[in-house]
Chain A
Amino acid sequence: SQQGEEDPQALSIQEGENATMNCSYKTSINNLQWYRQNSGRGLVHLILIRSNEREKHSGRLRVTLDTSKKSSSLLITASRAADTASYFCATDAVNTGNQFYFGTGTSLTVIP
């Protein structure tokens, strides 16, 4: 399977702390995207990082990409209760017609 994997599967932190989740994938990619999903609903796009980029910021989000290790990390700083959700990485793999492969997701709980 070309599906990626997120680590950890579940994460519980206190409000105000930082949350870090990791994504590993198997094939060469054009870009990698992170999505958030609130309980049983649709996914919302958070940030996209291209294969030639190493780090990207968007508000409280910081994403890194290491193509040599085929891994990415998502850092959420100063977490809030509203950040409670599942987070997925999605890879736009090379030579697949821009088909997306989603990881298994990290379930984040932020305790007020």
Chain B
Amino acid sequence: KAGVTQTPRYLIKTRGQQVTLSCSPISGHRSVSWYQQTPGQGLQFLFEYFSETQRNKGNFPGRFSGRQFSNSRSEMNVSTLELGDSALYLCASRPAPGQGREQYFGPGTRLTVT
């Protein structure tokens, strides 16, 4: 099976702009989670989608949003970008939420905000 793919891999944006990142999960996986990774804060959970519904949401401002499509692909959007949004954004998939379910991570999208 193909792994989790994320596009684009690298992105440079300017403060105030918005950005959309895409994630395609492993075939058959219906749960997609998003994480933000920065040197100072480590891995922070953004949100999880399952069957097109947001199940959980981390402690991020409303500028961060996401959605999931019927084919389980997911997008996350960040509006009005700030310098502090520069980070590695990781997407992870699993068959479904539930105990004992490991997550499979994509390579990440490196976002730089200037």
Question: Using a CB–CB distance below 8 Å, which chain A residues touch chain B?
Answer: 3, 30-31, 33, 35, 40-45, 48, 50, 88, 90, 92, 96-105
CB pair A42 B43 closer than 8 Å: no
When A92-B99, A100-B33 are in contact, do A41 and B108 touch as well, CB less than 8 Å?
A: yes
1/0 per residue, CB under 8 A from A, across B12-46: the answer is 00000000000000000000010100000011010
Q: How far is the CA of A102 from the CA of B105 in the complex (A)?
A: 13
Tell me the minimal C-beta distance from A11 to chain B in angstroms.
Answer: 17
**Which residues of chain B have C-beta atoms less than 8 A from A3's C-beta?**
42
CB pair B108 A102 closer than 8 Å: no
Max chain B C-beta neighbours (<10 A), residue from A3, A42, A102 = A42
When A40-B110, A43-B105 are in contact, do A30 and B43 touch as well, CB less than 8 Å?
A: no
CB pair B90 A43 closer than 8 Å: yes
Total interface residues in chain B, CB < 8 Å: 25
Question: Using a CB–CB distance below 8 Å, which chain B residues touch chain A?
Answer: 4, 33, 35, 42-43, 45, 48, 55-56, 88, 90, 92, 97-108, 110
CB pair B110 A33 closer than 8 Å: no
List the A residue with the shortest CB-CB distance to B58: A99
**Which residues of chain A have C-beta atoms less than 8 A from B103's C-beta?**
43, 45, 90, 100
